């Protein structure tokens, strides 16, 4: 072939390549944001929607409909890797009309290579869309953020309408988050005996005493309690202490647990007086997994599983039914409806609880305690019969059935209370605690009224052994991660809740939401919390001395979930007998350091990273109020890290934690 023909052929192919490249993502193409892979998007509620609002409706801002765009929800981050020749980003942003008449408010932000390039004013439902038109040549990392504008994330339905890139768009990639593995950090309990759970237990004079010593180690174990006061005995085979004390006082004892490998011993103080709940309660509650499907057999299976999983050996002791065990007169389900009370006015159970006393006896026979639930109003939150007007009679029934714990949930009492004054907020709780005081049985009282009237300031004075500090942590399944940081970290810190929790009364930021939970759509599904977030919840709850009440499916607990729930060194922080709740000592953007002072003079420290990327978090001795060489132990790994001066720093994953115990070196 002559050379000229060869050269012409080459030129033709180059032209074809150039033409075809400009058709498939050359210099001046446009591409819609909604046609990219946005699966790595993070948001505070729901999932990212392409060409729809976050609720799956047509995109619409201030009455104007949009054919395409992206619907999301604060706080959200859409992150993209761009080609340097992608030179323009355009969109119209605003709050979707689905949020009209609601209090949403959002700030839209575009960040280029980590710096803010553009920011919208505060956008509210009904505000006309704001156009965005940005030059972005050379930018590699683009983030589209829709952030809560300060009033919480409710109804923050954020639309990036008509969002389009222009330029070389062939290489735009949706960012992919690092996959977080569910790493089991804690070694399994060893074969040697180890005594766990609370070191101080409160009982009232004359009340029946029931406490099973929690201990791990190869079975069979032998239990002994030295200096057990008269009136109490311990079963050497089961470790159950039972009996009655007549006289108030502090009774220091030593618990010994042995097997053929050795003996563990630990002080255990029985405090006979008027104060129950000397350390935060530990146990299980039915609500977040079983909601209105709870039944006798579910409760018995949960009690069985507390034993077979070994959770009982780590201190979990209460097995609590939540709402939906009484009758729901308005229900058309024959299992639930019927008369709510008998002719004498005694409260009746629904048909899913044919033998409440038998069920409670069964729970007790496992060495566990049983809890129940009602409301001071005429109906519970789910519309079941509750205590209003029958408080004394209902409590007597609970005593007859043998319950040890009562959650008293405000619910329909909102229609009874005259106003929101502190006196009205306190009234039903004063009434019920007065009745409980007169019973021949110890019943822990959990106040559930979502933090109204700064309940932490008076919860213990009205007889509460714990009080919910905020709304339902898992009220929105998709929003659990957001609620964890909002109610756990921010409500607690901004109201200085650490000042109010103490032996006998604890701040309760709600249940541990691990394992399988209800998604409120009729299914039980794995928790939306990532592994790091689960470590974060358990660490924070222990640092702030919160009740450790797990509310996932007891019968489907995997190894990872069990490892998060049963690390004895973390639980020891929660149950520390000094009973001084921890608090945030340092916040640097997304990085936070929390501290809790422990009885033995050491401090537990949580290094938290609320950010989206791994980051190094540093605890400075100066902030912790300590000096000199300190011994640092990693509590999740149960591993000594050695001696440190001045500070301890470690890299912490997205939404994760490193929890250490710091002890002065001699
Ligand atoms: C309220 C409480 C929850 C749960 C439900 C039951 O929402 O806060 O913890 O008890 O009621 O209906």
Catalogue the active-site residues. Answer: 409, 472
Q: Ligand 1: does its nearest atom lie under 6 Å from the Cβ of 409?
A: yes
DSSP string, 56-112: SSPEEETTEEESSEEEEESSEEEEEE--TTEEEEEEEEEE-GGGTTS---EEEEEEE
DSSP β-bridge partners for residue 444: 405
Kindly give the number of the ligand 1 atom that is closest to the alpha carbon of 407: 10
Give 631's strand partners.
643, 663
How far does the centroid of ligand 1 lie from the alpha carbon of residue 606, in Å? 29
The pLDDT of residue 176 is: 81
- Buried-exposed string 256-285: b where 16+ CB fall within 10 A, e elsewhere: bbbbeeeebebebebbbbebbbbbbbbbbb
How many Cβ atoms from other residues are within 10 Å of residue 247's Cβ? 12
Question: Is the CB of residue 533 below 6 angstroms from any atom belonging to ligand 1?
Answer: no
In 10 A of CB 528, how many CB atoms? 16
Return all residues near 310 (Cβ < 8 A) that are at least 6 apart.
Answer: 189, 216, 562, 566
Interval between CA 304 and ligand 1 midpoint (Å): 24
Strand order in the sheet with 262-272: 200-203, 262-272, 249-259, 222-226
* Whether residue 373 has pLDDT greater than 90: yes
Average pLDDT of the segment spanning 546-559 = 98
Of all residues in the chain, the percent with pLDDT exceeding 90 is 91
What is the distance of C-alpha 281 from the center of its chain?
A: 16
Mean pLDDT of the chain: 95
405-409 and 369-374 beta bridge pairing: parallel
Q: Is the model's pLDDT at 7 over the cut of 80?
A: no
CA atoms 30, 34, 40, 44: torsion sign: positive
- Mean pLDDT check: name the lowest of 2-11, 195-204, 535-544: 2-11
The band of 178, judged by pLDDT with boundaries at 50, 70 and 90, is confident
Cα 589 to the center of its chain, rounded Å: 21
| C-alpha 180, offset from chain centre | 18
Mean pLDDT across the stretch 395-411? 98
Residues 278-283 have a mean pLDDT of 98
CA of 109 to the centre of ligand 1 (A): 36
User: DSSP string spanning 446-460?
Assistant: EEESTTGGGGGGTTT
Q: Which of 119-128, 149-158, 305-314, 546-555 has the lowest mean pLDDT?
A: 149-158
Q: Identify the pLDDT of residue 42.
A: 87
> Contact, 130 vs 120, CB < 8 A?
yes
Q: Is residue 324 within 6 Å of ligand 1 at its C-beta?
A: no
CA proximity to 607, closest of 576, 631, 629, 636: 636
The Cα–Cα gap between 662 and 620 comes to 12
- Secondary structure class of 575 (helix, strand, coil): coil
73 contacts 156 by C-beta, under 8 angstroms: yes
**Strands 516-518, 506-508: pairing kind:** unpaired
CA distances, 495 to each of 489, 491, 510, 536 (Å): 10, 6, 17, 20
Render pLDDT for 606-616 as a digit per residue (tens, 0 to 9).
999 999 889 99
Residue 665 has pLDDT above 50, yes or no: yes
Separation of alpha carbons 631 and 627, rounded Å: 12
How far apart are the CA of 381 and the centre of ligand 1, in A? Answer: 6
CB under 8 Å to 90, separation ≥6 — which residues? 131, 132, 133, 134, 162, 163, 164, 166
pLDDT of 17 above 60:
no
**Does residue 270 have its Cβ closer than 6 Å to ligand 1?**
no
Ligand 1 mean position, distance from CA 323 (Å): 7
507-534 mean pLDDT: 97
Please name the residues in contact with 481: beta carbons below 8 A apart, sequence gap of 6 or more.
Answer: 44, 528, 529, 530, 533, 655
Q: Please name which of 67, 80, 114, 86 lies closest in space to residue 25, comparing C-alpha atoms.
A: 86
Q: How confident is the model at residue 304 (pLDDT cuts 50, 70, 90)?
A: very high
Q: Please give the pLDDT value at position 10.
A: 54
Average pLDDT over residues 5-12: 56
Burial 5-18 (b: 16+ CB within 10 A, else e): eeeeeeeeeeeeee
Residue whose structure tokens are 């729930």 = 565
Entry field: residues in the chain: 666
pLDDT tens digits, 27-68: 789 999 999 999 889 898 888 999 999 999 999 999 999 999
Nearest to 616 by CA among 592, 650, 584: 650
Ligand 1: nearest atom to the Cα of 323: 6
In this model, does residue 23 exceed pLDDT 50?
no
Q: In the predicted model, is pLDDT for residue 11 greater than 70?
A: no
- Quick one: which H or E segment has residue 560? helix 559-565
Question: In this predicted model, what pLDDT tens digit does every residue of 187-227 receive, in sequence order?
Answer: 999 999 999 999 999 999 999 999 999 999 999 999 999 99
User: Which residue is listed with tokens 């000592």?
Assistant: 585
Nearest atom within ligand 1 for CA of residue 510: 9
Q: What are phi and psi of 449, to 5 degrees?
A: -145, 20
Three-state SS for 534? helix
State in Å: Cα 271 to ligand 1 middle.
32
Can you tell me the distance from the alpha carbon of 157 to that of 553, in angstroms, rounded to the nearest whole number?
Answer: 32
- Residue at token pair 């008449």: 101
Residue linked to tokens 């936070």: 592
> What does the alpha-carbon distance between residue 225 and residue 235 come to, in Å, rounded to a whole number?
10
Residues 332-371: tens digit of each pLDDT: 999 999 999 999 999 999 999 999 999 999 999 999 999 9
The confidence score (pLDDT) of residue 578 equals: 98
Tokens of 373: 């639930």
**What is residue 170's predicted lDDT score, i.e. its pLDDT?**
85
Tell me the Cα Rg of the chain.
29
532 C-beta closer than 6 A to ligand 1: no
Q: Is 159 in the pocket of ligand 1 (CB under 6 A)?
A: no
Residue with tokens 């537990």, as numbered in its chain: 604
Nearest CA to 29 among 158, 127, 125, 170?
Answer: 170
Write the CA distances from 654 to 8, 231, 274, 347, 467, integer angstroms.
57, 52, 44, 49, 30
- Contact, 633 vs 663, CB < 8 A? yes
Q: How many CB atoms lie within 10 A of CB 424?
A: 15
Asked if residue 410 lies in contact with residue 462, where contact means CB atoms within 8 angstroms, the answer is no
Is 322 a pocket residue for ligand 1 (Cβ < 6 Å)? yes
What are the distances in angstroms from CA 29 to CA 21, 166, 170, 270? 10, 5, 8, 76
Give, in degrees to the nearest 5, the angle at Cα 94 between 90 and 97: 135
| Banded model confidence at residue 185, pLDDT cuts 50, 70, 90 | very high
Give the residue, by CA position, lying nearest to ligand 1 atom 11. 381
Q: Count the neighbouring beta carbons within 10 Å of the beta carbon of residue 133.
A: 10
Higher pLDDT, 127 or 170: 127
Alpha-carbon distance 659 to 638, whole Å?
10
* 382 contacts: CB under 8 Å, gap ≥ 6: 291, 292, 323, 324, 328
Among 322, 384, 386, 470, which is best to mutate for testing ligand 1, by the most ligand atoms less than 8 A from CB?
Answer: 322
- pLDDT by residue (tens digit) across 599-639? 999 999 999 999 988 999 999 999 999 999 999 999 999 99
Q: Is the CB of 508 under 6 A from ligand 1?
A: no
| Average pLDDT over every residue of 463-481 | 95
- Backbone φ and ψ for 560, nearest 5 degrees, come out as -65, -50
Q: Is 448 in the pocket of ligand 1 (CB under 6 A)?
A: yes
- Strand order from edge to edge, sheet including 106-112: 115-119, 106-112, 141-148, 76-81, 173-174
């Amino acid at each position: 072939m002559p050379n000229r023909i060869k050269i012409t052929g080459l030129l033709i192919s180059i032209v074809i390549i150039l033409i075809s490249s400009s058709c498939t993502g050359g210099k001046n193409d446009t591409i819609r944001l909604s046609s990219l892979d946005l699966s790595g998007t993070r948001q505070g509620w729901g999932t990212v929607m392409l060409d729809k609002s976050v609720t799956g409706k047509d995109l619409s801002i201030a009455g104007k409909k949009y054919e395409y765009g992206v619907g999301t929800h604060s706080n959200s981050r859409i992150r993209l890797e761009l080609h340097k020749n992608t030179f323009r980003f355009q969109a119209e942003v605003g709050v979707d009309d689905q949020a009209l008449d609601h209090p949403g408010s959002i700030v839209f932000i575009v960040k280029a290579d980590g710096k803010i390039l553009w920011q919208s004013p505060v956008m509210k439902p009904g505000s006309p869309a704001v156009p965005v038109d940005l030059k972005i040549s050379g930018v590699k990392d683009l983030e589209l953020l829709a952030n809560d504008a300060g009033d919480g994330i409710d109804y923050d339905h954020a639309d990036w309408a008509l969002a389009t890139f222009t330029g070389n768009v062939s290489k735009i990639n949706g960012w992919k988050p690092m996959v977080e593995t569910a790493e089991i950090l804690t070694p399994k309990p060893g074969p040697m005996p180890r005594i766990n759970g609370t070191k101080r237990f409160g009982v009232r004079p004359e009340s029946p005493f029931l406490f099973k010593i929690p201990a791990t180690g190869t079975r069979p174990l032998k239990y002994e309690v030295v200096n057990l006061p008269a009136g109490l005995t311990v079963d050497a085979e089961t470790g159950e202490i039972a009996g009655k004390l007549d006289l108030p006082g502090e009774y220091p004892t030593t618990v010994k647990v042995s097997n053929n490998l050795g003996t563990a011993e630990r002080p255990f103080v029985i405090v006979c007086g008027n104060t129950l709940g000397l350390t935060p309660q530990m146990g299980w509650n039915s609500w977040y997994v079983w909601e209105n499907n709870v039944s006798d057999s579910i409760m018995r299976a949960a009690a069985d599983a507390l034993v077979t999983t070994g959770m009982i050996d780590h201190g979990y002791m209460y097995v609590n039914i939540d709402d939906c065990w009484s009758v729901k007169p308005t229900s058309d389900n024959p299992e639930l409806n019927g008369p709510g009370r008998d002719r004498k006015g005694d409260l009746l159970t629904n048909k899913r609880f044919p033998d409440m006393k038998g069920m409670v006896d069964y729970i007790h026979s496992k060495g566990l305690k049983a809890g129940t639930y009602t409301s001071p109003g005429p109906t519970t939150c789910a519309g079941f019969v509750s205590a209003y007007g029958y408080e004394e009679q209902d409590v007597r029934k609970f005593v007859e059935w043998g319950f040890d714990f009562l959650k008293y949930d405000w619910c329909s009492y909102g229609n009874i209370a005259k106003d929101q004054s502190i006196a009205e907020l306190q009234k039903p709780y004063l009434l019920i605690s007065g009745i409980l005081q007169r019973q021949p049985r110890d019943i822990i009282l959990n106040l559930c009224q979502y933090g109204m009237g700064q309940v932490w300031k008076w919860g213990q004075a009205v007889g509460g052994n714990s009080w919910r500090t905020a709304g339902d942590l898992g009220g929105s399944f998709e929003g659990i991660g957001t609620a964890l940081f909002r109610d756990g970290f921010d409500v607690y810190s901004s109201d200085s809740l650490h000042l109010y929790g103490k032996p006998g009364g604890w701040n309760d930021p709600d249940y541990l939401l691990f394992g399988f939970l209800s998604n409120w759509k009729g299914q039980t599904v794995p928790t939306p919390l990532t592994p790091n977030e689960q470590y974060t919840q358990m660490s924070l709850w222990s640092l702030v001395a919160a009740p450790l009440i797990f509310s996932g499916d007891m019968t489907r607990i995997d190894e990872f979930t069990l490892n998060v729930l049963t690390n004895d060194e973390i639980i020891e922080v929660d149950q520390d007998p000094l009973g001084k709740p921890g608090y945030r000592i340092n916040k640097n953007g997304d990085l936070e350091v929390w501290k809790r002072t422990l009885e033995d003079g050491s401090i537990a420290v949580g290094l938290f990273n609320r950010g989206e990327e791994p980051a190094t978090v540093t605890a400075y001795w100066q902030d912790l109020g300590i000096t000199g060489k300190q011994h640092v132990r990693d509590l999740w790994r149960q591993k000594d890290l050695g001696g440190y001066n001045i500070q301890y720093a470690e890299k912490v994953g997205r939404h994760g934690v490193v929890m250490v115990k710091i002890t002065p070196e001699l």
